[in-house]
Amino acid sequence: MTRARAIVLWCAVCVLAACATTPVQPWQKRQLAQRAMRFDGGNALEADFATQVATSREAARGGDGVGGGGCGCN
Amino acid sequence: MTRTPPPPHSLLAAALALPGLALAPTAARAERPPVDGEVSLRYSHYQEYQPGAERIEVVLPALFVLLPVADDWTLESQIALDSISGASPLYHDTLSGASGIGVDDVRRSIDVDATRYFDRASIALGASVSREDDYDSNAVRVVATFDSIDRNRTITIGAGTSDDTIDSVNGVAENEQRRTHDAQFGITRVLTPRDVAQATLTYAHGSGYFDDPYKVLDRRPGSRDERALSLRWNHAFERSGSALRLAYRLFDDSWDITAHSIDAAWEHPFANGWVLVPSLRYHSQSAARFYFDPPVGSGFVPGEDYTADARLSAFGSVTAGLKLQVPFGQRWRSDFKLSFYRQRSEWRAFGEGSPDLLPVSARVFEIGLTYLY
Protein backbone atom coordinates (compact mmCIF):
# COMPACT_ATOMS: atom_id res chain seq x y z
CA MET A 1 0.00 0.00 0.00
CA THR A 2 2.70 2.47 1.00
CA ARG A 3 4.58 1.60 -2.15
CA ALA A 4 1.50 2.07 -4.34
CA ARG A 5 0.85 5.44 -2.74
CA ALA A 6 4.46 6.51 -3.29
CA ILE A 7 4.30 5.58 -6.98
CA VAL A 8 1.06 7.47 -7.49
CA LEU A 9 2.35 10.50 -5.62
CA TRP A 10 5.52 10.48 -7.69
CA CYS A 11 3.48 10.37 -10.91
CA ALA A 12 1.37 13.27 -9.68
CA VAL A 13 4.41 15.34 -8.89
CA CYS A 14 5.90 14.58 -12.32
CA VAL A 15 2.74 15.58 -14.13
CA LEU A 16 1.95 18.69 -12.18
CA ALA A 17 5.31 20.12 -11.23
CA ALA A 18 8.26 18.71 -13.08
CA CYS A 19 6.94 18.81 -16.63
CA ALA A 20 8.74 21.74 -18.18
CA THR A 21 6.00 22.70 -20.59
CA THR A 22 5.95 26.00 -22.40
CA PRO A 23 3.53 28.27 -20.53
CA VAL A 24 0.15 28.27 -22.24
CA GLN A 25 -1.03 31.75 -23.22
CA PRO A 26 -4.58 32.98 -22.54
CA TRP A 27 -5.48 33.03 -26.24
CA GLN A 28 -4.48 29.37 -26.52
CA LYS A 29 -7.04 28.21 -23.93
CA ARG A 30 -10.18 28.24 -26.02
CA GLN A 31 -10.47 24.46 -26.11
CA LEU A 32 -9.75 24.16 -22.40
CA ALA A 33 -12.67 26.48 -21.64
CA GLN A 34 -15.31 24.08 -22.97
CA ARG A 35 -17.71 22.68 -20.41
CA ALA A 36 -16.66 19.20 -21.50
CA MET A 37 -13.16 19.95 -20.17
CA ARG A 38 -14.32 20.58 -16.62
CA PHE A 39 -13.31 17.89 -14.21
CA ASP A 40 -16.92 17.23 -13.20
CA GLY A 41 -17.96 16.98 -16.85
CA GLY A 42 -19.85 20.27 -16.71
CA ASN A 43 -22.96 18.89 -15.02
CA ALA A 44 -23.06 19.24 -11.23
CA LEU A 45 -26.20 17.17 -10.67
CA GLU A 46 -25.00 14.30 -12.83
CA ALA A 47 -21.61 14.23 -11.11
CA ASP A 48 -23.19 14.33 -7.64
CA PHE A 49 -25.54 11.46 -8.40
CA ALA A 50 -22.70 9.33 -9.75
CA THR A 51 -20.80 9.98 -6.52
CA GLN A 52 -23.86 9.11 -4.44
CA VAL A 53 -24.34 5.82 -6.29
CA ALA A 54 -20.69 4.87 -5.80
CA THR A 55 -20.45 5.82 -2.13
CA SER A 56 -23.69 4.03 -1.25
CA ARG A 57 -22.45 0.75 -2.79
CA GLU A 58 -18.73 0.92 -2.02
CA ALA A 59 -16.48 1.70 0.92
CA ALA A 60 -14.28 4.41 -0.64
CA ARG A 61 -14.95 8.12 -0.90
CA GLY A 62 -13.14 11.44 -1.11
CA GLY A 63 -10.55 12.82 -3.46
CA ASP A 64 -12.80 15.60 -4.65
CA GLY A 65 -14.18 18.13 -2.20
CA VAL A 66 -14.90 18.68 1.48
CA GLY A 67 -17.84 19.15 3.78
CA GLY A 68 -20.39 16.97 2.07
CA GLY A 69 -23.52 16.20 4.02
CA GLY A 70 -26.04 13.43 4.33
CA CYS A 71 -26.23 9.71 4.41
CA GLY A 72 -28.13 8.37 1.42
CA CYS A 73 -26.46 5.14 2.40
CA ASN A 74 -28.99 2.43 1.78
CA MET B 1 -17.78 19.47 -36.45
CA THR B 2 -19.21 21.92 -33.99
CA ARG B 3 -19.90 21.72 -30.31
CA THR B 4 -23.07 23.25 -28.89
CA PRO B 5 -22.20 26.92 -28.57
CA PRO B 6 -22.56 28.40 -25.12
CA PRO B 7 -23.81 31.96 -24.76
CA PRO B 8 -21.48 34.05 -26.91
CA HIS B 9 -19.69 36.02 -24.23
CA SER B 10 -18.76 33.11 -22.05
CA LEU B 11 -16.20 31.02 -23.88
CA LEU B 12 -13.64 33.74 -24.36
CA ALA B 13 -14.10 35.01 -20.82
CA ALA B 14 -13.66 31.52 -19.46
CA ALA B 15 -10.61 30.93 -21.62
CA LEU B 16 -8.96 34.09 -20.38
CA ALA B 17 -9.57 33.04 -16.82
CA LEU B 18 -8.36 29.47 -16.91
CA PRO B 19 -7.60 27.21 -15.17
CA GLY B 20 -11.35 27.44 -14.82
CA LEU B 21 -12.16 23.85 -14.23
CA ALA B 22 -14.82 22.98 -11.82
CA LEU B 23 -14.19 20.89 -8.78
CA ALA B 24 -16.04 17.71 -8.15
CA PRO B 25 -19.22 17.21 -6.14
CA THR B 26 -19.78 18.70 -2.71
CA ALA B 27 -16.99 21.20 -3.16
CA ALA B 28 -17.72 24.78 -3.95
CA ARG B 29 -17.04 25.05 -7.65
CA ALA B 30 -14.81 28.00 -7.26
CA GLU B 31 -12.07 27.94 -9.82
CA ARG B 32 -13.22 30.52 -12.28
CA PRO B 33 -14.92 33.88 -12.22
CA PRO B 34 -18.63 33.76 -12.83
CA VAL B 35 -19.64 34.16 -16.44
CA ASP B 36 -22.80 32.10 -16.90
CA GLY B 37 -25.87 31.58 -14.83
CA GLU B 38 -27.40 28.14 -14.89
CA VAL B 39 -30.59 26.38 -13.91
CA SER B 40 -30.68 22.59 -14.15
CA LEU B 41 -33.37 20.06 -13.43
CA ARG B 42 -32.58 16.38 -13.26
CA TYR B 43 -34.58 13.24 -12.65
CA SER B 44 -32.69 10.07 -11.77
CA HIS B 45 -34.00 6.57 -11.25
CA TYR B 46 -31.89 3.82 -9.65
CA GLN B 47 -32.93 0.18 -9.41
CA GLU B 48 -30.66 -2.32 -7.73
CA TYR B 49 -30.99 -6.09 -7.88
CA GLN B 50 -29.28 -9.37 -7.20
CA PRO B 51 -30.00 -12.77 -8.76
CA GLY B 52 -33.63 -13.59 -8.06
CA ALA B 53 -34.56 -10.40 -6.22
CA GLU B 54 -34.95 -6.67 -6.62
CA ARG B 55 -33.32 -4.54 -3.96
CA ILE B 56 -33.35 -0.80 -3.33
CA GLU B 57 -35.06 1.62 -5.70
CA VAL B 58 -34.23 5.33 -5.59
CA VAL B 59 -36.13 8.12 -7.33
CA LEU B 60 -34.33 11.45 -7.22
CA PRO B 61 -35.56 14.74 -8.65
CA ALA B 62 -33.00 17.52 -8.15
CA LEU B 63 -32.60 21.22 -8.91
CA PHE B 64 -29.35 23.15 -9.34
CA VAL B 65 -29.10 26.93 -9.62
CA LEU B 66 -25.96 28.97 -10.26
CA LEU B 67 -26.57 32.66 -9.87
CA PRO B 68 -23.91 35.26 -10.72
CA VAL B 69 -24.26 38.24 -8.36
CA ALA B 70 -22.65 41.56 -9.27
CA ASP B 71 -19.26 41.08 -10.93
CA ASP B 72 -17.45 38.96 -8.45
CA TRP B 73 -19.87 36.73 -6.54
CA THR B 74 -21.76 33.58 -7.33
CA LEU B 75 -24.43 31.79 -5.35
CA GLU B 76 -24.99 28.11 -5.97
CA SER B 77 -27.73 25.96 -4.58
CA GLN B 78 -28.75 22.38 -5.01
CA ILE B 79 -31.97 20.86 -3.73
CA ALA B 80 -32.68 17.13 -3.92
CA LEU B 81 -35.41 14.77 -2.78
CA ASP B 82 -34.48 11.08 -2.67
CA SER B 83 -37.26 8.55 -2.28
CA ILE B 84 -35.74 5.25 -1.23
CA SER B 85 -37.71 2.01 -1.07
CA GLY B 86 -37.25 -1.73 -1.33
CA ALA B 87 -35.22 -4.47 0.24
CA SER B 88 -31.81 -3.86 1.79
CA PRO B 89 -29.44 -6.60 3.04
CA LEU B 90 -29.71 -7.59 6.70
CA TYR B 91 -26.35 -9.31 6.34
CA HIS B 92 -24.25 -10.36 3.35
CA ASP B 93 -26.83 -10.83 0.56
CA THR B 94 -29.82 -11.83 2.72
CA LEU B 95 -32.49 -9.20 2.21
CA SER B 96 -34.69 -7.41 4.71
CA GLY B 97 -37.62 -7.68 2.33
CA ALA B 98 -37.61 -11.45 2.85
CA SER B 99 -38.80 -10.89 6.41
CA GLY B 100 -41.34 -8.33 5.29
CA ILE B 101 -39.36 -5.30 6.49
CA GLY B 102 -38.17 -3.10 3.68
CA VAL B 103 -36.73 0.38 3.53
CA ASP B 104 -39.11 3.27 2.89
CA ASP B 105 -37.50 6.64 3.44
CA VAL B 106 -37.31 10.12 1.97
CA ARG B 107 -34.17 12.20 2.08
CA ARG B 108 -34.42 15.95 1.67
CA SER B 109 -31.20 17.86 1.14
CA ILE B 110 -30.07 21.36 0.32
CA ASP B 111 -26.59 22.66 -0.44
CA VAL B 112 -25.72 26.36 -0.67
CA ASP B 113 -22.35 27.83 -1.64
CA ALA B 114 -21.38 31.49 -1.91
CA THR B 115 -18.16 32.30 -3.74
CA ARG B 116 -16.29 35.61 -3.82
CA TYR B 117 -13.82 36.03 -6.69
CA PHE B 118 -10.71 38.17 -6.59
CA ASP B 119 -8.18 38.85 -9.33
CA ARG B 120 -6.32 35.56 -8.99
CA ALA B 121 -8.06 33.92 -6.06
CA SER B 122 -11.45 32.92 -4.77
CA ILE B 123 -13.00 31.92 -1.50
CA ALA B 124 -16.18 29.91 -1.11
CA LEU B 125 -18.31 29.26 1.95
CA GLY B 126 -20.83 26.46 1.82
CA ALA B 127 -23.33 24.59 3.93
CA SER B 128 -25.34 21.39 3.49
CA VAL B 129 -28.37 20.14 5.35
CA SER B 130 -29.83 16.67 4.88
CA ARG B 131 -32.82 15.10 6.60
CA GLU B 132 -34.04 11.50 6.60
CA ASP B 133 -36.35 9.63 8.96
CA ASP B 134 -33.33 8.13 10.68
CA TYR B 135 -30.35 10.27 9.66
CA ASP B 136 -29.78 14.03 9.96
CA SER B 137 -26.66 15.74 8.72
CA ASN B 138 -25.41 19.32 8.86
CA ALA B 139 -22.14 20.31 7.17
CA VAL B 140 -20.14 23.47 6.51
CA ARG B 141 -17.06 24.05 4.37
CA VAL B 142 -14.64 26.70 3.16
CA VAL B 143 -12.61 26.36 -0.03
CA ALA B 144 -9.99 28.82 -1.31
CA THR B 145 -8.20 28.87 -4.65
CA PHE B 146 -5.05 30.73 -5.68
CA ASP B 147 -3.95 31.14 -9.32
CA SER B 148 -0.40 31.66 -10.54
CA ILE B 149 0.30 34.90 -12.41
CA ASP B 150 -0.06 33.21 -15.79
CA ARG B 151 -3.15 31.32 -14.56
CA ASN B 152 -1.65 28.02 -15.60
CA ARG B 153 -1.56 26.68 -12.06
CA THR B 154 -4.17 26.78 -9.30
CA ILE B 155 -3.77 25.72 -5.70
CA THR B 156 -6.96 24.66 -3.92
CA ILE B 157 -7.20 24.42 -0.14
CA GLY B 158 -10.36 23.44 1.66
CA ALA B 159 -11.70 22.34 5.03
CA GLY B 160 -15.07 21.17 6.24
CA THR B 161 -16.92 19.60 9.10
CA SER B 162 -20.15 17.68 9.41
CA ASP B 163 -22.35 16.72 12.35
CA ASP B 164 -24.60 13.72 11.91
CA THR B 165 -27.34 12.28 14.11
CA ILE B 166 -28.54 8.70 13.71
CA ASP B 167 -31.94 7.65 15.07
CA SER B 168 -32.83 4.31 13.53
CA VAL B 169 -36.51 3.46 13.12
CA ASN B 170 -35.92 0.01 14.66
CA GLY B 171 -34.73 1.58 17.94
CA VAL B 172 -31.20 0.15 17.80
CA ALA B 173 -29.58 3.58 17.42
CA GLU B 174 -31.10 6.34 19.52
CA ASN B 175 -29.73 9.85 19.07
CA GLU B 176 -26.27 8.57 18.19
CA GLN B 177 -23.74 11.17 17.00
CA ARG B 178 -20.95 11.27 14.47
CA ARG B 179 -18.64 14.18 13.72
CA THR B 180 -16.33 14.36 10.71
CA HIS B 181 -13.60 16.89 9.91
CA ASP B 182 -12.05 16.89 6.47
CA ALA B 183 -9.47 18.81 4.48
CA GLN B 184 -8.31 18.98 0.89
CA PHE B 185 -5.24 20.19 -0.96
CA GLY B 186 -5.16 20.27 -4.74
CA ILE B 187 -3.09 21.48 -7.66
CA THR B 188 -4.57 22.13 -11.10
CA ARG B 189 -2.16 22.63 -13.95
CA VAL B 190 -2.66 23.65 -17.58
CA LEU B 191 -0.11 21.52 -19.41
CA THR B 192 -0.76 22.39 -23.06
CA PRO B 193 -3.50 24.22 -25.00
CA ARG B 194 -5.33 20.87 -25.00
CA ASP B 195 -4.35 19.26 -21.68
CA VAL B 196 -5.14 20.05 -18.09
CA ALA B 197 -4.37 17.91 -15.04
CA GLN B 198 -5.30 17.97 -11.39
CA ALA B 199 -4.08 16.19 -8.27
CA THR B 200 -6.12 16.38 -5.06
CA LEU B 201 -5.44 14.93 -1.64
CA THR B 202 -8.26 14.68 0.86
CA TYR B 203 -8.18 13.57 4.47
CA ALA B 204 -11.15 12.95 6.73
CA HIS B 205 -11.30 12.08 10.42
CA GLY B 206 -14.61 10.88 11.74
CA SER B 207 -15.51 9.92 15.29
CA GLY B 208 -18.70 8.65 16.87
CA TYR B 209 -21.25 6.11 15.74
CA PHE B 210 -20.33 4.14 12.60
CA ASP B 211 -22.40 0.96 13.09
CA ASP B 212 -25.18 0.11 10.66
CA PRO B 213 -28.18 -0.28 12.99
CA TYR B 214 -30.11 -2.29 10.39
CA LYS B 215 -27.49 -5.01 9.99
CA VAL B 216 -27.33 -8.06 12.21
CA LEU B 217 -24.54 -8.04 14.85
CA ASP B 218 -22.97 -4.94 13.25
CA ARG B 219 -20.36 -3.25 15.41
CA ARG B 220 -17.67 -0.96 14.01
CA PRO B 221 -14.81 1.11 15.39
CA GLY B 222 -15.69 4.47 16.95
CA SER B 223 -13.48 6.39 14.54
CA ARG B 224 -12.40 6.32 10.93
CA ASP B 225 -9.54 8.08 9.15
CA GLU B 226 -9.83 8.23 5.37
CA ARG B 227 -7.23 9.36 2.86
CA ALA B 228 -7.76 9.76 -0.87
CA LEU B 229 -5.52 10.90 -3.67
CA SER B 230 -7.20 11.64 -6.98
CA LEU B 231 -5.45 12.34 -10.27
CA ARG B 232 -7.39 13.75 -13.19
CA TRP B 233 -6.36 14.46 -16.73
CA ASN B 234 -8.51 16.01 -19.46
CA HIS B 235 -7.54 16.16 -23.10
CA ALA B 236 -9.26 18.07 -25.91
CA PHE B 237 -8.99 16.71 -29.45
CA GLU B 238 -8.51 19.56 -31.88
CA ARG B 239 -9.90 18.04 -35.08
CA SER B 240 -12.97 16.22 -33.78
CA GLY B 241 -13.79 18.61 -30.94
CA SER B 242 -13.97 15.63 -28.60
CA ALA B 243 -12.87 15.68 -24.98
CA LEU B 244 -11.42 12.78 -22.99
CA ARG B 245 -11.66 12.82 -19.19
CA LEU B 246 -9.57 10.36 -17.20
CA ALA B 247 -9.44 10.00 -13.43
CA TYR B 248 -7.81 7.69 -10.94
CA ARG B 249 -8.37 7.60 -7.18
CA LEU B 250 -6.36 5.81 -4.55
CA PHE B 251 -8.15 5.43 -1.20
CA ASP B 252 -7.20 3.94 2.11
CA ASP B 253 -8.54 4.15 5.63
CA SER B 254 -7.93 3.11 9.21
CA TRP B 255 -10.27 0.11 8.75
CA ASP B 256 -7.65 -1.42 6.41
CA ILE B 257 -9.65 -0.78 3.25
CA THR B 258 -7.59 0.07 0.18
CA ALA B 259 -9.38 0.95 -3.03
CA HIS B 260 -8.53 1.90 -6.59
CA SER B 261 -11.04 3.62 -8.88
CA ILE B 262 -10.56 4.51 -12.55
CA ASP B 263 -12.98 6.67 -14.53
CA ALA B 264 -12.97 7.45 -18.23
CA ALA B 265 -15.44 9.51 -20.25
CA TRP B 266 -15.25 10.50 -23.88
CA GLU B 267 -17.40 13.41 -24.99
CA HIS B 268 -17.93 13.42 -28.75
CA PRO B 269 -19.87 16.21 -30.54
CA PHE B 270 -21.64 15.69 -33.85
CA ALA B 271 -22.22 18.23 -36.59
CA ASN B 272 -25.87 18.74 -35.61
CA GLY B 273 -24.85 19.76 -32.08
CA TRP B 274 -25.73 16.47 -30.43
CA VAL B 275 -23.11 15.08 -28.09
CA LEU B 276 -22.56 11.42 -27.23
CA VAL B 277 -20.73 10.56 -24.02
CA PRO B 278 -19.76 6.92 -23.39
CA SER B 279 -18.18 6.35 -19.98
CA LEU B 280 -16.57 3.49 -18.09
CA ARG B 281 -15.59 3.11 -14.45
CA TYR B 282 -13.74 0.36 -12.63
CA HIS B 283 -13.45 0.10 -8.85
CA SER B 284 -11.67 -2.43 -6.67
CA GLN B 285 -11.42 -2.60 -2.89
CA SER B 286 -10.07 -4.80 -0.13
CA ALA B 287 -12.23 -5.75 2.86
CA ALA B 288 -12.41 -3.99 6.21
CA ARG B 289 -10.45 -5.91 8.85
CA PHE B 290 -13.66 -6.63 10.77
CA TYR B 291 -15.63 -7.94 7.81
CA PHE B 292 -16.33 -11.68 8.09
CA ASP B 293 -17.38 -14.02 5.29
CA PRO B 294 -20.64 -16.02 5.39
CA PRO B 295 -22.25 -17.69 7.23
CA VAL B 296 -23.40 -14.78 9.34
CA GLY B 297 -21.99 -14.85 12.87
CA SER B 298 -18.90 -16.76 11.84
CA GLY B 299 -15.98 -14.95 13.47
CA PHE B 300 -18.25 -12.90 15.73
CA VAL B 301 -16.87 -12.29 19.22
CA PRO B 302 -19.08 -10.35 21.67
CA GLY B 303 -17.60 -6.91 22.36
CA GLU B 304 -15.39 -6.91 19.29
CA ASP B 305 -15.89 -5.27 15.90
CA TYR B 306 -17.87 -7.28 13.40
CA THR B 307 -19.70 -6.60 10.17
CA ALA B 308 -21.43 -8.71 7.54
CA ASP B 309 -22.05 -5.63 5.37
CA ALA B 310 -21.03 -6.65 1.85
CA ARG B 311 -20.13 -3.05 1.06
CA LEU B 312 -17.13 -3.53 3.34
CA SER B 313 -16.14 -6.81 1.64
CA ALA B 314 -13.47 -7.26 -1.05
CA PHE B 315 -14.81 -6.93 -4.60
CA GLY B 316 -14.53 -5.19 -7.93
CA SER B 317 -17.19 -3.28 -9.83
CA VAL B 318 -17.73 -1.95 -13.33
CA THR B 319 -20.03 0.88 -14.41
CA ALA B 320 -20.76 1.48 -18.09
CA GLY B 321 -22.74 4.54 -19.16
CA LEU B 322 -23.98 6.24 -22.30
CA LYS B 323 -25.28 9.80 -22.40
CA LEU B 324 -26.85 11.71 -25.25
CA GLN B 325 -26.95 15.48 -25.01
CA VAL B 326 -29.32 17.40 -27.28
CA PRO B 327 -29.24 21.21 -27.48
CA PHE B 328 -32.21 23.48 -28.12
CA GLY B 329 -30.95 26.79 -29.48
CA GLN B 330 -28.13 28.60 -27.78
CA ARG B 331 -29.17 28.30 -24.17
CA TRP B 332 -31.14 25.12 -23.61
CA ARG B 333 -29.92 21.58 -23.61
CA SER B 334 -31.31 18.27 -22.52
CA ASP B 335 -29.59 14.99 -21.82
CA PHE B 336 -30.51 11.34 -21.38
CA LYS B 337 -28.22 8.89 -19.67
CA LEU B 338 -28.39 5.17 -19.10
CA SER B 339 -25.84 3.30 -17.02
CA PHE B 340 -25.33 -0.18 -15.66
CA TYR B 341 -23.44 -1.12 -12.53
CA ARG B 342 -22.21 -4.60 -11.62
CA GLN B 343 -20.29 -5.69 -8.55
CA ARG B 344 -18.60 -9.09 -8.24
CA SER B 345 -16.11 -10.56 -5.78
CA GLU B 346 -14.12 -12.08 -8.64
CA TRP B 347 -13.46 -8.69 -10.18
CA ARG B 348 -11.27 -7.45 -7.36
CA ALA B 349 -7.76 -6.45 -8.51
CA PHE B 350 -4.57 -7.19 -6.52
CA GLY B 351 -6.04 -10.03 -4.47
CA GLU B 352 -8.91 -12.40 -3.83
CA GLY B 353 -12.46 -11.16 -3.51
CA SER B 354 -14.66 -12.08 -0.56
CA PRO B 355 -16.22 -15.53 -1.14
CA ASP B 356 -19.86 -16.65 -1.13
CA LEU B 357 -21.51 -13.37 -2.09
CA LEU B 358 -24.02 -12.88 -4.88
CA PRO B 359 -23.21 -10.26 -7.52
CA VAL B 360 -25.01 -6.94 -7.17
CA SER B 361 -26.28 -5.00 -10.18
CA ALA B 362 -28.03 -1.70 -10.77
CA ARG B 363 -29.43 0.18 -13.70
CA VAL B 364 -29.67 3.95 -13.66
CA PHE B 365 -31.71 6.21 -15.92
CA GLU B 366 -31.30 9.98 -15.86
CA ILE B 367 -32.93 12.81 -17.76
CA GLY B 368 -31.74 16.39 -17.43
CA LEU B 369 -32.66 19.85 -18.65
CA THR B 370 -30.29 22.81 -18.40
CA TYR B 371 -30.77 26.50 -19.11
CA LEU B 372 -27.67 28.71 -19.39
CA TYR B 373 -28.06 32.48 -19.20
Which CATH number goes with the domain that contains B343? 2.40.160.40
Contact yes or no for B243 and A34 at CB 8 A: yes
Cβ atoms B204, B182 nearer than 8 A: yes
Strands B38-50 and B360-372: antiparallel
Full 3-state SS string of B157-220: EEEEEEEEEECCCCCCCCCEEEEEEEEEEEEEEEEECCEEEEEEEEEEEEEECCCCCCCCCCEC
Residue B97 phi/psi, 5-degree rounding, is -60, -25
Asked if the C-beta of A69 comes within 8 angstroms of chain B's C-beta atoms, the answer is yes
Distance CA B303, CA B309 (A): 18
Examine residue B315 and state whether it is found in any structural domain, yes or no. Answer: yes
Contact yes or no for B15 and A9 at CB 8 A: no
| Chain A CB contacts of B275 below 8 Å | 36
Contact yes or no for A24 and B190 at CB 8 A: yes
Contact yes or no for A16 and B78 at CB 8 A: no
Distance CA A35, CA B206 (A): 34
Structural domain span for residue B365 = 13-372
Examine residue B141 and state whether it is found in any structural domain, yes or no. Answer: yes
Contact yes or no for B337 and A46 at CB 8 A: yes
| Under-50 pLDDT residues of chain A | none
Examine residue B356 and state whether it is found in any structural domain, yes or no. Answer: yes
Query: Residue B10 has what pLDDT?
Result: 47
Nearest to B282 by CA among A73, A58, A39: A58
Examine residue B5 and state whether it is found in any structural domain, yes or no. Answer: no
Asked if the C-beta of A66 comes within 8 angstroms of chain B's C-beta atoms, the answer is yes
Query: pLDDT of A1-21, one tens digit each?
Result: 566 666 666 666 666 665 556
| Chain B CB contacts of A48 below 8 Å | 25-26, 62, 78, 80
Distance CA A36, CA B235 (A): 10
Shortest CA gap A22–chain B (Å): 8
Examine residue B3 and state whether it is found in any structural domain, yes or no. Answer: no
Cis-peptide, bond into residue B19, ω within 30° of zero: yes
- How far is residue B173 from each of residues A70, B126, B168, B169, measured CA to CA in Å? 17, 29, 5, 8
Asked if the C-beta of A2 comes within 8 angstroms of chain B's C-beta atoms, the answer is no
Instruction: Choose, out of A29, A40, A52, A53, the residue to mutate when testing the contact with B (most B CBs < 10 Å).
Output: A29
Contact yes or no for A74 and B88 at CB 8 A: yes
Asked if the C-beta of A3 comes within 8 angstroms of chain B's C-beta atoms, the answer is no
Instruction: Choose, out of B42, B194, B250, the residue to mutate when testing the contact with A (most A CBs < 10 Å).
Output: B250
Distance of alpha carbon B340 from its chain centroid, rounded? 16
Cβ atoms B72, B117 nearer than 8 A: yes
Shortest CA gap B361–chain A (Å): 10
> pLDDT digit of tens for each residue in chain B (373 aa)?
333 344 434 444 555 555 444 433 333 343 455 568 999 999 999 999 999 999 999 999 999 999 999 889 999 999 999 999 999 999 999 997 554 467 889 999 999 999 999 999 999 999 999 999 899 999 999 999 999 999 999 999 999 999 999 999 889 999 999 999 999 999 999 999 999 999 999 999 999 999 999 999 999 999 999 999 999 999 999 999 999 999 999 999 999 999 999 999 999 999 999 999 999 999 999 999 999 999 999 999 999 999 999 999 999 999 999 999 999 988 999 999 999 999 999 999 999 999 999 999 999 999 999 999 8
DSSP secondary structure letter of residue B31: S
Examine residue B361 and state whether it is found in any structural domain, yes or no. Answer: yes
Query: Residue B96 has what pLDDT?
Result: 78
Angle at B168 between CA B162 and CA B174, to 5 degrees: 80
Examine residue B8 and state whether it is found in any structural domain, yes or no. Answer: no
Cis-peptide, bond into residue B295, ω within 30° of zero: yes
Query: Residue A73 has what pLDDT?
Result: 59
Query: Residue B103 has what pLDDT?
Result: 82
Strand partners, B249: B230, B261
Contact yes or no for B257 and A71 at CB 8 A: no
Nearest CB among A27, A29, A62 relative to B251 is that of A62
Query: Residue A3 has what pLDDT?
Result: 65
Distance CA B254, CA A1 (A): 13
Task: For chains A and B, count residue pairs whose Cβ atoms are closer than 8 Å.
Answer: 298
Cβ atoms B188, B211 nearer than 8 A: no
ipTM for the complex? 0.89
Four-point Cα dihedral B342, B83, B67, B236, nearest 10: 10
Examine residue B235 and state whether it is found in any structural domain, yes or no. Answer: yes
Q: How many domains does chain B have?
A: 1
